[in-house]
Amino acid sequence: MENVKILIVEDDLSFANLLQERLTLLGYNPFELLCIDSLDEAISVKKELNPDVILLDLNIRDSSGIKTYTSISELFEEATIIVLSGLDDQSLSLEIVAKGAQDYLLKNEINAGVLDKTIKYGMLRRTFQVQLSESEKKYKDLFYNSPLPMLKLAVNSYQILFCNQAALTLYGANEAQEMVGKSLNDFMTSDTNLLSENNAPRLVGNYKQCTFSNQEISTQIILNQLKEDKDAFIALVVDKTDELLFEQRKYDIIAQAEEGEKKKIARELHDGLGQQLVLLNLLLQNIQPIPEQEASLENIKQILHNSIQEVKELAYNLLPPALEQGFLNALERFAHRVNATGKLSFELDIDSSIEEDSFKKVDRFNLYRIVQESLNNALKHSQATKLVISIIKNKDTLCLKIKDDGVGFASCKQETGLGLQNMKYRMKMANIQGDIQSEEGKGVCITLTFNT
């Protein structure tokens, strides 16, 4: 005997009795079957009975149409509702099924087999709906209660559809309505956004963003496309601000220690070895060689002179005094010194709108070191006859290019020597975007981009 509680809501007494007889013959417990004919009775029954299944006629003594279904479904939220329909309201029954009823039966086609299958399948579908609802609730709880900021984004527009509490906290929003409807790209503070260069979604990327309180944060955003919803992404936002600040502070400490050592070495070279070489040169000037020793003495003097020049160059490179007067001044002094060697032509092409204040937001010392390393590489290896440094301004960024007409190299054969590694390290820590382009026989072009 089927132990299923069934409520029949039908004001046609003879049809209601027919349903009871058929259900009893099918093995349903007659003591678990109850017939009522109005909403008022349904309210009274609610106090004593929570039915598993409701066979519902839409037109009853005190209600009709969708109103009947709405009232009954609100009263018995957990019940499986099967609409009893006549031919004249079949379309209405379909509409109600779309709203949540499990199925409908045409009154003139009801037989024992159809009635039994409809009840069992309806209960099964209801069970699946409940499980799905519980699963969705667990998913929403996981989403909303996650300690990591999470957003649901529309594909293509990156419009925010949902956001959890952690995301509201990260972006400084008081409520979800402040964020929902905006594109996540609206929070970017640079030209970089969630689209890659080929207009495909950038599934993982690092960004500078701005909160509602105008605080700049560094984030990593990871996009995952939903399997069940191809029109949406789940975006995981990782706050990297503190991590990058820690790395920057660590780098600053290391850089200060390195520069301290360089200054110490520079002073020792200048005041120690350099002065001794100068003194030795003075002593040699006072030597009167015999005729057959004159050539050897001149060679010694030339070697000593070259050594003095190299020591001065090393000391200057380790501690460039011109940089204390500004980055542009240091570049001009560098150009003058390189041109004085006669090895190549060094030109500066600097936009007239660029002043020393244009470099106030960049680590000028490390920028100078990067340029210095680039120029030293060009002097040593490029076999170039001409080298040009150009600086142009583009909105809130400066672009510094170092280009030579030397032998170049194939990009695939680019060597990662100590000098290049040092340049990349300085770029990363100073937040300078760098790009190195070269082809064999076509020179090298190094582009450095940074905020003003």
Q: What is the pLDDT of residues 101-123, one digit of tens each?
A: 777 788 877 787 888 888 888 78
Report the pLDDT averaged over residues 138-164: 86
User: What is the model's pLDDT at position 317?
Assistant: 64
Q: Mark which of 239, 270, 294 sits at the end of a domain.
A: 239
Contact predicate 368/327, CB 8 Å? yes
Angle, CA 347 vertex, CA 341 and CA 353 arms, to 5°: 140
Number of domains forming the structure of the chain = 4
Please give the single-letter amino acid code of residue 96. I
* Global pTM value: 0.45
Q: Mark which of 297, 319, 341 sits at the end of a domain.
A: 319
Dist CA 132 CA 126 (whole Å): 10
Q: Above pLDDT 70, what percent of the chain?
A: 90
Report the pLDDT averaged over residues 51-61: 89
Domain of 444, in residue numbers: 322-452
> What does DSSP assign to residue 273?
I
Report the pLDDT averaged over residues 30-49: 88
Helix (H, G, I), strand (E, B) or coil at 402: strand
Mean pLDDT of the chain: 83
Are residues 35 and 161 both part of a single domain?
no
If we measure between CA atoms, which residue out of 215, 216, 222, 204 comes closest to residue 149?
Answer: 222
Classify the phi-psi angles of 145: left when phi > 0, otherwise alpha if psi is within -120 to 50, otherwise beta: alpha
Are residues 24 and 111 both part of a single domain?
yes
Domain presence at residue 383: yes
User: What is the model's pLDDT at position 173?
Assistant: 93
pLDDT digits (tens, 9 = 90+) for 228-272: 677 888 899 999 888 878 877 776 777 677 767 777 777 777 677
Domain presence at residue 175: yes
Are residues 47 and 86 both part of a single domain?
yes
214: buried, middle or exposed (CB in 10 Å: 19+, 13-18, 0-12)?
exposed
The yes-or-no verdict on residue 145 having pLDDT over 50 is yes
Are residues 170 and 77 both part of a single domain?
no
Are residues 188 and 210 both part of a single domain?
yes
206's tokens: 């690092």
Are residues 248 and 235 both part of a single domain?
no
Helix (H, G, I), strand (E, B) or coil at 381: helix
Residue 314 or 221, more confident: 221
Are residues 173 and 209 both part of a single domain?
yes
User: What is the model's pLDDT at position 87?
Assistant: 59
pLDDT digits (tens, 9 = 90+) for 294-323: 788 888 888 888 887 777 777 666 666 667
423: buried, middle or exposed (CB in 10 Å: 19+, 13-18, 0-12)?
buried
User: What is the model's pLDDT at position 203?
Assistant: 86
Are residues 136 and 150 both part of a single domain?
no
Q: How confident is the model at residue 1 (pLDDT cuts 50, 70, 90)?
A: very low
Dist CA 166 CA 213 (whole Å): 16
pLDDT digits (tens, 9 = 90+) for 171-213: 999 999 999 999 999 999 877 788 776 778 888 888 899 999 9
Contact predicate 116/26, CB 8 Å? yes
Contact predicate 148/237, CB 8 Å? yes
Q: How confident is the model at residue 90 (pLDDT cuts 50, 70, 90)?
A: low
Count Cβ atoms below 10 Å from residue 23 Cβ, excluding itself.
24
pLDDT digits (tens, 9 = 90+) for 363-409: 888 888 888 888 888 877 888 889 999 999 887 889 999 999 888 87
Helices (H), 103-160: 112-145
Are residues 347 and 310 both part of a single domain?
no
Domain presence at residue 1: no
Residue 225 or 170, more confident: 170
Q: Mark which of 268, 303, 319 sits at the end of a domain.
A: 319
Are residues 191 and 250 both part of a single domain?
no
Domain presence at residue 391: yes
